[in-house]
Amino acid sequence: MTTAAYIQTYNLTPATAQKRWTRAKAAGLVDRGFSLQQVPTPAEVAAVFQKSAPVRTPEKTADKQTPTQTTPKTKAVRVEKTKTRTQRAVLVCIMSVCAAVSLSNMYSVSVQIKDNWIDAALITALFSGAPFGLLYAGVSGWAGWLVSGISIGYEVFCNASGIYRGLAGLGNGAPYEVWQAGGFVDTVSRVTTLEARPCALFISIGMAAIVAAVFITCLIEIKK
């Protein structure tokens, strides 16, 4: 039987048979081209006429590997540690307390230097307010640190002198030559087995240094 006979047997149209043949050939089920006059082999009959339209098997393609979504590497960003307004306010308050503690000693020493309360007040205001003024103006160069260092140095000197004066009782009119240790200085002298005057000097310098250290620490932290 020819292809035309098989078309009539299976009640197909030539166009339908040709489409099936083309699909079968594309699927590799038949080798020859379509022709109404040729005699199909059993395999060709089975592939074209005895089955519904053959389904072309898609060629196996290499599975495309979907790129795995990787978390983008975020660049390390250096975060500068900056002081908040509240922290800066606390540091300024501590500096103000240190300055307030030193005011009386600075004024007392300044009066002895100038022997004029107006000049003494101006000197006290200058040395106590200079670090705050430079801080407010944003001066952070070597000149600002130099002026702040001089102001703090004068503050340390005045505090040490004032504290020593209080420990020695010189403010009560007692002359330095006949000064006798008593109270806290006498206790420290007995504990350390040192003379009273070196003990008073050590205590006054130590306390003045502590006040200055607190002030300088706050100043450095604010200027960071």
Answer yes or no: is 66 within a domain. Answer: no
| 199/91 same-domain check | yes
Task: Spell 52-87 as b/e; 16+ CB within 10 A means b.
Answer: eebeeeeeeeeeeeeeeeeeeeeeeeeeeeeeeeee
Residue whose token pair is 């004032």: 162
pLDDT tops 50 at residue 178: yes
pLDDT single digits (tens) 193-218: 778 788 888 888 999 999 889 988 88
- pLDDT recorded at residue 177: 57
The per-residue pLDDT for 143 is 77
DSSP structure class, residue 50: S
Question: Which residues, in sequence order, are CB contacts of 211 under 8 Å at separation 6+?
Answer: 98, 101, 102, 155, 156, 159
Domain identity same for 119 and 192: yes
Evaluate whether 162 touches 104 at the Cβ level (below 8 Å).
yes
Statement to judge: residues 185 and 100 lie in one domain: yes
> Are residue 41 and residue 104 in the same domain, yes or no?
no
Same domain, 164 and 105: yes
74 belongs to a structural domain: no
**Does any domain span residue 208?**
yes
**Per-residue confidence (pLDDT) for residue 179, from 0 to 100:** 61
On whether both 7 and 118 belong to a single domain, the answer is: no
173 and 117 belong to one structural domain = yes
Residue 19, in any domain of the structure: yes
The gap from C-alpha 209 to its chain's centroid, in whole angstroms, comes to 33
Pick 153 or 136 by higher pLDDT.
153
Q: 185 CB contacts (<8 Å, ≥6 apart)?
A: 167, 168, 196, 199, 200, 203
What is the pLDDT at residue 131? Answer: 79
Both tokens of 59, joined, read: 């060629």
Structural contact between residues 167 and 203, judged by C-beta atoms closer than 8 angstroms: yes
Query: What pLDDT sits at residue 174?
Result: 53
- Specify the pLDDT at position 51: 62
pLDDT given at position 81: 54
Report, as an integer, the average pLDDT of 31-38: 79
Distances (CA, A) of 61 to 57, 58, 65, 128, 136: 12, 8, 11, 84, 73
Query: Locate tokens 């975060």: which residue?
Result: 79
Tell whether 121 and 217 lie within a shared domain: yes
In a domain, 121, yes or no: yes
- The number of folded domains in the chain is 2
Are both 184 and 112 inside the same structural domain? yes
Q: Per mean pLDDT, which of 3-7, 40-44, 159-163 is the most reliable?
A: 159-163
User: Same structural domain for residues 98 and 195?
Assistant: yes
- The DSSP code for 206 is H
Mean pLDDT of 75-80: 47
Cα–Cα distance, 208 to 224 (Å, whole number):
25
Report field, pTM of the whole predicted structure over 0.75: no
* Selected residue with higher pLDDT from 172 and 55: 172
Same-domain check for residues 42 and 123:
no
Residue 76 lies in a domain: no
Percent share of the chain, pLDDT over 90: 1
44 in a domain, yes or no? yes
Both 123 and 209 in a single domain? yes
Judge whether 68 lies within some domain.
no
pLDDT of residue 77: 46
Determine the pLDDT at residue 46: 83
- The domain containing residue 90 runs over which residues? 85-223
